[in-house]
A = this chain, B = another copy of it.
Amino acid sequence: MLGLDLSRNMLARAREMTSDSAIDYRTADLETATLPSAAFDLVYSALAFHYVADFPRLVREIHQSLAPGGALVFTIEHPIYIAAADPRWELDRQGRKTWPVNGYATEGERRTDWFAPNILKYHRMLGTTLNILLDAGFSLRRVEEFAPTDEQIAAQPTLSEERERPMMLLISALRP
């Protein structure tokens, strides 16, 4: 098992949480990282790929690193969440929480304040993300836009706004 992160602090934390001689933790930048060929059954990434500028390169690199039948499973921030120039809850005329969308077809850099000011992420249309996977030779297995269930909202009422607009996109793809 290979675990990659750009941050040495995050890798130190991962080693602390899951110390196992089967895991090889390495510092790597997903913009330039190379991976061994047909070496993995599963590549998994959580909420990282929307920080990667050259997503087609990364997807091709992952594709060649998977054994035939291997899977790429990842989450990103949903493009509807990322797209707008001024992303923030508004109220519609009925007082309902509403998420603004603009600039959807204008892909590229978006800057927001999150933990630190001026965090850089990349907006890609949902179709673009899927077509990059298809162009690299992946077949799509599942596309999910997370929304909490009624039970989850009853347990944690602040989650209800997550039914108003998708924040997370979960994708499963196979190397045939």
Q: Which residue of B lies closest to A164 (CB)?
A: B102
Q: Could you mark each residue 131-166 of chain A with 1 if its beta carbon is under 8 Å from any beta carbon of chain B, else 0? A: 100100001111111010000000000000011111
Q: A131's contact among B127, B142, B165, by CB below 8 Å, is which?
A: B142
Q: A85 within 8 Å of B by Cβ?
A: yes
Which of A28-36, A44-52, A90-98 sits within the interface? A90-98
Q: For the complex formed by this chain, how many copies does it contain in all?
A: 2
Q: Which residue of B lies closest to A128 (CB)?
A: B145
Contact residues in B for A93 (Cβ distance below 8 Å)? 86
Contact residues in B for A120 (Cβ distance below 8 Å)? none
Q: Looking at chain A, what size class is its interface with the partner chain? A: 35 or more
B163–A143 touching, CB < 8 Å? no
For the complex formed, measure the closest distance between the CB of A145 and the CB atoms of chain B, giving whole angstroms: 5
Within 8 A of B (CB), among A101-131: 101-106, 125-127, 130-131
Q: A42 within 8 Å of B by Cβ?
A: no
A interface SS class: mixed
Q: A141's contact among B104, B134, B162, by CB below 8 Å, is which?
A: B134
Contact residues in B for A131 (Cβ distance below 8 Å)? 142-144
Q: A53 within 8 Å of B by Cβ?
A: no
B163–A106 touching, CB < 8 Å? yes
Q: Could you mark each residue 40-71 of chain A with 1 if its beta carbon is under 8 Å from any beta carbon of chain B, else 0? A: 00000000000000000000000000000000
Contact A104 B164, CB 8 Å, known A86-B94, A90-B90: yes
15 A-B pairs in the complex with CB atoms less than 8 angstroms apart: A84-B92, A84-B98, A85-B94, A92-B100, A97-B102, A98-B101, A100-B100, A100-B101, A101-B164, A106-B163, A127-B143, A127-B144, A130-B130, A130-B143, A139-B140
